[in-house]
Structures are given as structure tokens and as C-alpha cells.
């Protein structure tokens, strides 16, 4: 093949990352300020200011800066009052950090299948879930890869069933749905500042809410639940979850660049979309009439007819090369040979060994998590489409390198390498 002949021995000199931090300079000034004023712990100007900035940018009333997005989800689940053994409806195709905090509080995740239009929680499957379990009172929803879920339908269902929404906007900060910022639709919501997110603090996250009472509870819980006494007095369980003033300095320096980062990410998405013209692939979808993603990660999904034979076990994949066809495994392995980082789509939670006995609900009913390897194809539903949508997207999809610092020439070469996989 042309790519192999010309470039097989010439990988990128500097690794092209999936999504590494994009730093600008002000971050270092705010870190230095924390150092020079000796406010290095969980109190300081940077924390106060970054909470204010996030509230202003996203349109929420209160923000509590915490050590991680996972800590923020945990605090949100605790605010919801989930008891041991209580079922919680959760996004299925997401990172485990969306779901693990439910377990921290003793809840039992019930996974809701994905829909093709946004790759997020399927409102039809959610309605089916409430038919099966009408007493469930919490839904934990993630916005995947920077594209908001269909919030009107989901909120209508949750309101009708008097269920609380926790919105995991870790991947979607700055994205909007019908003009409203992601992370402001639920009762308790979160964003993340992990190293690969669109705004980074190297770590950190925030709980977002319009409830002053909820925000004050989280401030207390996240600082070991210390009571207002002249000594260390504790009347309930606490956590060491508060963000440090140093990390807050990094986030504070990043915040003014949110719109710039989104613009860069969108340009990457559009170059991939145009560069793959004529290939049997599609980009991760969104409806421009109702939402504007933050384009955190650009992803693609291969048409079913263009998939070569691929099987994924619990730890290792295998594929057989076929002329004119490819699969995520081949593309990712090829990119890796050129010193380029790509990733599989999030493996759905119901396919994870940890959750193989948890209930999984599709548009057509309930089942249990999968333990078997998945081969291209799968069981079809009544509409002729795969019954397990998350499994299908995981099988055919992958995350493309989406680093803001990648040059246009670098991306053009990556597109050429991927096109060669279909020769």
C-alpha cells in the first residue's frame, strides 16, 4: 500500500496524543501566586475565583471545587440520598467514573442503552426502564465526547417519574443544548478538569447546582465534615475532596481559553469529516439544530458493511484483514505504529466484568450484562437495528487523535494513514 511504502519506517518524531493539556501562561502566574502567598492547601483566592468563573461561564448559581470529577459525582449521589440496595439508572456507554460513585453509596446501577443520534442515553430505553422500575428516583446521565444528550426528552421522563438527574458533563464543558450549557440541566451536575479535558487543572472537578443548601453541604462533606466548633468535631462522615489552591490556579488560568479550545477542537472535527469523504465511515453524530458540542474528542464509526472480521475478548482483540474493509483494531494498531495515540470507544458498562450481573435495559426490555466476546453483527431488534446499541458502537467505533496542538499537516497525514487501512 502507498502509506506502507512511503511512511512505514517514518513515524511522527513527536507523539501525537489523543488530547493532551494545552497550556498558555497565565496558569503559571496563578500557581506562583499561590506559592508566594503560601496558600497551598484547600483555601485561597484561586479556589474562590475559579468557582465564580465557572458559575459565570456556565450559568449555574453555585460551584464547589473538588479534587476530581469522580468526587463531584460521589457528592451528587450522596445529595440524592441513595440508600444501600437502591436501584439507580445510569448511562451505559461511559467511563466507569460515572458509575463507581453509585457503588460508593451502596446503590445498584441499572444500565440504560445508548441511542445512535448522540451516542448518549436513549430516552426510549429510559422510559422502558421506568415501566419496569417505577420507584427509581435517580438518573445518572453522561454527555459522551462533548455532545449533549437529548435533554428535553430525558428531563420530561424524569420529571414525570419524579426522578432526580445527576448530569455528568465531565467531557462536555462548554457544550450547549438549545442554548443552555451542559452541566446545568440536572439538580446536581459535574464538570472535570482532568489532564485530557478541554479545560484542565491536571486534576480536579466541580459540583454545580442552583441549590445553596446543596452547595453548603458539599463544602462541609468535602472538608471532612468539620462542625462549627473551636475544636475538630465531626457528627457525620466526611471526605478529603476539596480542590487545592494550586490546582485551582491552573484551572483559573485556563478558563479564559475555553472558547478558543472549543474552536480548535471543532476545526479538528471538521477536517476529519472532510478528509474521510468517500470512506465508509461516519463521525460521531450531533444535531446542529439543537446542540453545539465542545468537540472534545473526534470519533468515527465504520459502516457495518465495511467492517472486516474482528473479535474482542476481555483483554485482547483479533481481526482478519480484508480488502476494502477495516476495523477499529486495525486502525488503532496502525496509528500506534506511527507514534499516534487513538483509543477505543468507551466499552459499555454492561459489558464490563464488574457489572456482568447488573441489569441492562434496551428499548425492547431488560437483560443482564454481557460476558461473551462480541463479533461484528449481533442481535437485531424489531426495527432491524442492533438491539444492543452501545455494544454495536463500541465494536465499530474509535476515538481519533484530537489534540489542539496537532498541526494541520499532522492531521492530514493521520487521515491519509487511516484511509490506507481501507485499501
Give me the pLDDT at residue 7, please: 45
Q: pLDDT value at position 376?
A: 37
Instruction: Please indicate whether residue 325 is annotated as part of the active site.
Output: no
Domain with CATH 3.40.640.10 in the chain: 26-255
Partner residues linked to 319 by β-bridges? 310
CA torsion angle for 60, 66, 71, 75 (degrees, to 10)? -50
Instruction: List pLDDT tens digits, range 111-152.
Output: 999 999 999 999 999 999 999 999 999 999 999 999 999 999
Average pLDDT over residues 238-260: 98
Average pLDDT over residues 72-91: 98
Exactly one of 78, 128, 197, 347 is catalytic; name it: 197
**Contact by Cβ (8 Å): 311, 317:** yes
Q: Residue 301 is inside which H or E element, if any?
A: strand 299-302
Which tens digits make up the pLDDT trace of 129-138? Answer: 999 999 999 9
- Please provide the CATH number assigned to the domain covering 26-255: 3.40.640.10
pLDDT recorded at residue 386? 56
In this structure, how many other beta carbons lie within 10 angstroms of the beta carbon of residue 337? 13
Over the range 16-51, which residues count as b (16 or more CB within 10 Å of their CB) and which as e?
bbebbbbeeebbeebbebbeeeebeebebbbbebbb
Q: How far is CA 200 from CA 124, 194, 243, in A?
A: 34, 5, 13
- CATH 3.90.1150.10 residue ranges of the chain are 2-21+259-348+371-420
Query: What is the residue-averaged pLDDT of the chain?
Result: 94
Contact between residue 368 and residue 360 where contact means Cβ atoms under 8 Å apart: yes
Identify the CATH assignment for 2-21+259-348+371-420 out of 3.40.630.30, 2.60.40.10, 3.90.1150.10, 3.90.280.10.
Answer: 3.90.1150.10
pLDDT at 367: 73
- DSSP three-state, residue 299: strand
Total residue count of the chain as it appears in this document: 423
Helix (H) or strand (E) holding 413: helix 408-420
The share of the chain scoring above pLDDT 70, in percent, equals: 93
If pLDDT is split at 50, 70 and 90, which confidence band does 8 have? low
Q: What is the pLDDT of residues 269-302, one digit of tens each?
A: 999 999 999 999 999 999 999 999 999 999 999 9
Encode pLDDT of 34-62 as tens digits: 999 999 999 999 999 999 999 999 999 99
* CA-based nearest residue to 20, from 405, 423, 329: 405
Let me know if 112 is exposed, middle or buried by CB neighbors in 10 A (0-12, 13-18, 19+).
buried
Quick one: how far is CA 265 from the chain centroid?
15
pTM of the model: 0.94
Amino acid at each position: 500500500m502507498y502509506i506502507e511504502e512511503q511512511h512505514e519506517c517514518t513515524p511522527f518524531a513527536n507523539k501525537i496524543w489523543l488530547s493532551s493539556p494545552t497550556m498558555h501562561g497565565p496558569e503559571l502566574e496563578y500557581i506562583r501566586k499561590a506559592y508566594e502567598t503560601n496558600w497551598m492547601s484547600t483555601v485561597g483566592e484561586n479556589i474562590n475565583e475559579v468557582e465564580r468563573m465557572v458559575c459565570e461561564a456556565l450559568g449555574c448559581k453555585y460551584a464547589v471545587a473538588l479534587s476530581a470529577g469522580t468526587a463531584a459525582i460521589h457528592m451528587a449521589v450522596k445529595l440524592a440520598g441513595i440508600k444501600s440496595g437502591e436501584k439507580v439508572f445510569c448511562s451505559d456507554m461511559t467511563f466507569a467514573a460515572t458509575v463507581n460513585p453509585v457503588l460508593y453509596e451502596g446503590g445498584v446501577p441499572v444500565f440504560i442503552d445508548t441511542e445512535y443520534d448522540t451516542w448518549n442515553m436513549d430516552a426510549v430505553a429510559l422510559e422502558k426502564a421506568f415501566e419496569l422500575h417505577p420507584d427509581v428516583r435517580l438518573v445518572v446521565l453522561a454527555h459522551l465526547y462533548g455532545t449533549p444528550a437529548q435533554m428535553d426528552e430525558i428531563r420530561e421522563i424524569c420529571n414525570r417519574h419524579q426522578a432526580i438527574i445527576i448530569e455528568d458533563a465531565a467531557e462536555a464543558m462548554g457544550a450547549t443544548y438549545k442554548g443552555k450549557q451542559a452541566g446545568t440541566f440536572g439538580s446536581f451536575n459535574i464538570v472535570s478538569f482532568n489532564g485530557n479535558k478541554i479545560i484542565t487543572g491536571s486534576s480536579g472537578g466541580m459540583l454545580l447546582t442552583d441549590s445553596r443548601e446543596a452547595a453548603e453541604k458539599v463544602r462541609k462533606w468535602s472538608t471532612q465534615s468539620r462542625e462549627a466548633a473551636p475544636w475538630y468535631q465531626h457528627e457525620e462522615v466526611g471526605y478529603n475532596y476539596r480542590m487545592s489552591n494550586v490546582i485551582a490556579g491552573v484551572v483559573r488560568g485556563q478558563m479564559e481559553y475555553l472558547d478558543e479550545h472549543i474552536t480548535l477542537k471543532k476545526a479538528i472535527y471538521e477536517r476529519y469529516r472532510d478528509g474521510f469523504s468517500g470512506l465508509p465511515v461516519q463521525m460521531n453524530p450531533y444535531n446542529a439544530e439543537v446542540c453545539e458540542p465542545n468537540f472534545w474528542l473526534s470519533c468515527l464509526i465504520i459502516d457495518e458493511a465495511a467492517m472486516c472480521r474482528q473479535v474482542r475478548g476481555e483483554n485482547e482483540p483479533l481481526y482478519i484483514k480484508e480488502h476494502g474493509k477495516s476495523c477499529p483494531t486495525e486502525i488503532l494498531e496502525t496509528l500506534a505504529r506511527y507514534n499516534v495515540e487513538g483509543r477505543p470507544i468507551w466499552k459499555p458498562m454492561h459489558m464490563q466484568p464488574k457489572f456482568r450481573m447488573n441489569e441492562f435495559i434496551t428499548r425492547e426490555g431488560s437483560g443482564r450484562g454481557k460476558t461473551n466476546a462480541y463479533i461484528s453483527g449481533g442481535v437485531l431488534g424489531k426495527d432491524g437495528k442492533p438491539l444492543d446499541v452501545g455494544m454495536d458502537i463500541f465494536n465499530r467505533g474509535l476515538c481519533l487523535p484530537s489534540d489542539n496542538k496537532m498541526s494541520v499537516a499532522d492531521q492530514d497525514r493521520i487521515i491519509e494513514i487511516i484511509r490506507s487501512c481501507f485499501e
